[in-house]
Amino acid sequence: MAPYIGTAVSRVDGVAKVTGAAKYAAEFSAPGLLYASIVSATITKGRITRIDTSAALAVEGVLTVLTHENRPRMADKDEAYKDEVAPDGSPFRPLYDDKIKFNGQPIALVVAERSEIARFAASLVVVEYGAAAYVTDVFRRREAAVPVKAPANPSEALFAPPKPRGDADRALAAAAVRHEGEYYVPIEHHNPMELYAATAIVDPDGKLTVYDKTQGVQNIQHYLCGVFGLKSDDVKVMNPYMGGGFGSGLRPQFEVVLAVLAARALQRSVRVVLTRQQMYALGYRPAMIQRIALGANRDGTLDAISHDAITVTSQYEDFYRQETAWSGLLYTSANAKYAHRLAHLDLATSCDMRAPSAATAVYALEAAMDELAVALKLDPLELRLRCYSDRDQHEDRPYSSKALRECYRQGAEAFGWSRRNPEPRSMREGTDLVGWGMATGVWDAFQAPITVRIVLTANGHAEVACATSDIGTGTYTIMAQVAADMLGLPLDNISIKLGDSSLPQSPVEGGSWIAASVSNGIATTAARIRNELLRLAKQMPGSPLADVGSDDVALADGKLVSKRDSSRAVSIADAMRQGAVERIEQEETTNPAQDEKRAHNTHSAIFAEVKIDEQLGVIRVTRVVSAIAAGRILNTKTATSQILGGVVWGIGMALHEETQIDHTFGRIVNANIAEYHVPVHADIHDIKVIFVDEPDDSNPLGIKGLGEIGIVGVAAAVANAVYHATGKRVRDLPISLDKLLA
C-alpha cells in the first residue's frame, strides 16, 4: 500500500461540505430553539445613560431583552475572562456594565421565537448615551504610543521584544549605503465567509452544549466555565466545521457569551448569529507604522538593521506580536536594534490575523530591501543572496533546516527572473508598464503539546480523536492520511473526530502549529497501538514475530510486519483475535522535543509580475510564483490550496484591503464585503506554487506547517513589482490606483 502522506488526497470531508451534511455553528438546532439579535453601540466611547427596551419587549414573540441592567450574573474578575491566548489587560465583557469602549460594541440582546422578530425588535431598542472624547486614528496617537512590555501570560512569552545586538546606530552612521523609509499598513479585517455564530443548547439534564464558531473548543469551554462559574462537566463546546477563521477565532468572541447568557437567563436553547456588519466589531489586524533603516557595505552585505514599529490595540488590552523581530532574524547583520510601541485607540482589541506580525513587518522589511537594492545598483535577488544567513541571527544558532536558497533558485527559474531588465519603467507591453518584483517570506515552525486518542477495532477501522479544529485548512484530511499510514490501514478505514471539547487536549488552532502537533501526536499514539498489537501477536502459538522488538516492526496493509523480513507478519485481525479483544484504545500526550539549540522556521521566495496601465494606473498582477520551504508536505493538494489562498490574500493586502474608519465618528464606513475590497476572480491570474525539498528532523515526521507562510512577503513582491513598473515607490498600503496617478 503506497503511503498517503505526501500525496494529493482529496478532502475527506469534501462530500459532507458540498452536500450540506457538514453542519456549522449556526446550523445546529434543538426543540424550542430561540433566536437572538444583537443591538450594537453607535457611539465610540462613553456610557449608556438610558436603555429603553419596552417597545422591543412589546413585540409579540419577544421573550426578553438582555442588557447590562438585567443580565444573569457573570464573573467580576478579569482572570475569569482571560482565555488561553489573552494578551495582558482587562478583557472585554459583553453586557457587563454601562461603559462603551468601541463603536459597534454589543449592548443588548433581543431573544425571540424567530430570528426575524428578534431582528425587528432589536431595531426598537432606544439607547441614550453620554459620549466621551475618543481617538481612533493611529497617526493621532503616534506620539503617545508606549513601548511594549514583555507579556505576563506565559504562553505569550515568545512575543517578548527581541534583544538588540551590536551598535546599530554607529553602524548605520558609518554605512557606505543607507536606506531609511516609513511604511504603513492599515487595519484589516479577516472577513471569513462564515458569520460568527453560537448555538447554546440546554440539555434535558440542565447541562449546556454550545456550538460555537471558534479555532479552539477547549479554550471556549475553559472561558465559559470562568465567566459563568460552571464546572467543566456542565458545558461542552463543539465546532466540527468552520468556514474560515484566519485568527479571528483564536480568542472567545462575544457571540458565545451572549448565547450562553441568554440560555441561562431563559433556560432555553438560544442561537446568536452576527450580521456581516457586526463582524467588524471583532478583532482585526493592527495597523502598523514602521520605520526601517538599513545600512550596507558596497558589496551588498548588511551591517545594520533598525526596525521601529507602532501597532494598534484597544484601551483595555495590549495585543501585539514580535513585529520587529523578523527584520533581525532574516538576514546576516552584525548590528540590529528595535523599538516597538503600542498606540491605544478607542477600538476593540486587535488580534491575530493570518501570519500576524510577519505579514505586515516582512512587507516593510522586503520593500526596504528592494529600495536598498536600487541604492546599491544590485539585483534584488542578488542582494538577498549576499545577505543570506545560515544562522538564526537573534540567537546565533543553526536552523533545523533552511532551504531558502533553493526557494530563490527554483522560484527565479520558474518565473524567468534572469530576463528582468533592472531599470524601472523599462519593460512595456502596449499601453501597460510591466514590473517584476520579488520578496522573501519567513514564519515559525512551531509544535505544541497535544493528546490523541486512537480506537482500533478488530474489523480494521480506527477512530482518531483530538479536540483540535479544522478551520477549513484540511486538518481532517491530513489527520486521516497520517493515521492511515501509521496504522497501515486504507484511508477509508479511518474516521476523525475533532472540534469537541470533551475529546483529548489540543491547543487552539493557529500559528501553523496544528499540522506538526497533531500529526506527530497521531504517530505517538499509533506506536502505542502497534506495541499493543505486537504484544498480542507475540502470544500467538508459533508467532512469526515472537522475537521481533517493538522498534523492528511496522504496520502496513493491515498487518504487523517485521521491518527486516517482510515475510514475517501477523494481520491486525489475527492479533486481536488472539487476545480476544474487540478494540484497542490508546491515548497519549506528545510533547515536542526541546530543541533550543536550533531555530525552526519556514521560508519562501515570491516573484510577482504586474502590468499597469501607464495613464490610468489600473494594476493587474498577472503572474506570481511562490516557492515554499516548509519541511515535509503532508498533502500536496491542500497544501497548494493553502499557499494559493495566502498569495491571493497577499495580493489583496498589496492592492485592496483597508478597513476605513471615519475618525470624526469612530465608525467603520466600509463594514461589508462589497465595500471592503478583497480580490475577486478577475484580479487573480496565474499563480504557481513550488514546494522545495526540505528534510527536517525537528519532529519525527519532519513537519513544519504552512498556514501562515503563504501570505508573508507577497505584498512586498507586488509592491516591488509596482515600483519596477512605474518608478513610483508607494509606501502605504493598499496601492490603490490614485497613488500612481500623481
Partner 1 sequence: MINFQYVRANSIADAVNLIADDPAAKFVAGGTNLIDLMKMDVEQPTKLIDISRLALDKVEDTAEGGLRIGAMVRNSDLAYHPAVEARYPVLSSAIRAGASQQLRNMASTGGNLLQRTRCAYFYDIALPCNKRTPGSGCGALAGHNRMHAILGTSDACIAVFPSDMCVALALLEARVHVSGPNGARTIAFDAFHRLPGETPQRDNNLEPGEMIVAVELPSAGFASNYSYLKIRDRLSYAFALVSVGVGLEIADGRIKAARLALGGVAHKPWRDTRAEAALAGQAANEAVFRQAADIVLRDARGFGHNNFKIELARRAIIRALTQAANGTPQSQSNKKIA
Which residues contact partner 1 (rule: CB under 8 A)? Answer: 42, 116, 119-120, 123, 277, 431-432, 611, 613, 615-618, 620, 655-656, 660, 662, 664-665, 667, 669-670, 674-675, 677, 679-683, 736-738, 741-742
Chain-centroid distance, C-alpha 568: 46
Q: How far is the CB of 461 from partner 1 (least distance, A)?
A: 43
Chain-centroid distance, C-alpha 207: 31
> Residue 704: CB partners within 8 Å, gap ≥ 6?
445, 512, 516, 600, 601, 602, 630, 631, 632, 694, 696, 698
Q: How far is the CB of 101 from partner 1 (least distance, A)?
A: 16
- Of 84 and 657, the one with the shorter C-beta distance to partner 1 is 657
Cβ-based neighbour number of residue 329 at 10 Å: 21
- Of 222 and 656, the one with the shorter C-beta distance to partner 1 is 656
- SS3 per residue for 475-501: HHHHHHHHHHHHHCCCHHHEEEECCEC
DSSP code at position 599: B
CB hemisphere CA count around 53 (13 angstroms):
19
Q: Is the dihedral of CA 340, 179, 361, 695 positive or negative?
A: negative
- Of 225 and 621, the one with the shorter C-beta distance to partner 1 is 621
- Of 133 and 680, the one with the shorter C-beta distance to partner 1 is 680
> Which of 323, 657, 694, 708 does the annotation list as catalytic?
708
Q: How far is the CB of 104 from partner 1 (least distance, A)?
A: 9
- Of 18 and 737, the one with the shorter C-beta distance to partner 1 is 737
> Residue 464: CB partners within 8 Å, gap ≥ 6?
452, 453, 454, 479, 480, 483, 494, 495, 496, 497, 522
- Of 574 and 658, the one with the shorter C-beta distance to partner 1 is 658
Can you tell me which residue has the cell 523492528?
A: 552
Active site residue 708: yes
Q: How far is the CB of 182 from partner 1 (least distance, A)?
A: 21
- Triad 540, 541, 547: Cα angle to 5°: 70
Q: Say if residue 541 is exposed, middle or buried (CB neighbours under 10 Å; 0-12, 13-18, 19+).
A: exposed
Comparing CA positions, the residue from 608, 631, 629 lying closest to residue 620 is: 608
- Of 296 and 434, the one with the shorter C-beta distance to partner 1 is 434
CB hemisphere CA count around 204 (13 angstroms):
1
Cell triple for residue 441?
Answer: 517570506
- Triad 464, 446, 704: Cα angle to 5°: 75
Chain-centroid distance, C-alpha 654: 19
Q: How far is the CB of 40 from partner 1 (least distance, A)?
A: 9
- SS3 per residue for 700-721: CCCECCCCCCCCCCHHHHHHHH
Q: How far is the CB of 625 from partner 1 (least distance, A)?
A: 21
* b/e burial code for range 689-719 (CB count within 10 A of at least 16 → b): bbbbebebebbebbbbbbbbbbbbbbbbbbb
Q: How far is the CB of 119 from partner 1 (least distance, A)?
A: 6
- Of 571 and 670, the one with the shorter C-beta distance to partner 1 is 670
Q: How far is the CB of 655 from partner 1 (least distance, A)?
A: 7
Nearest-angstrom CA–CA distance, 580 and 633: 39
Cell triple for residue 425?
Answer: 519603467
Catalytic residues: 708
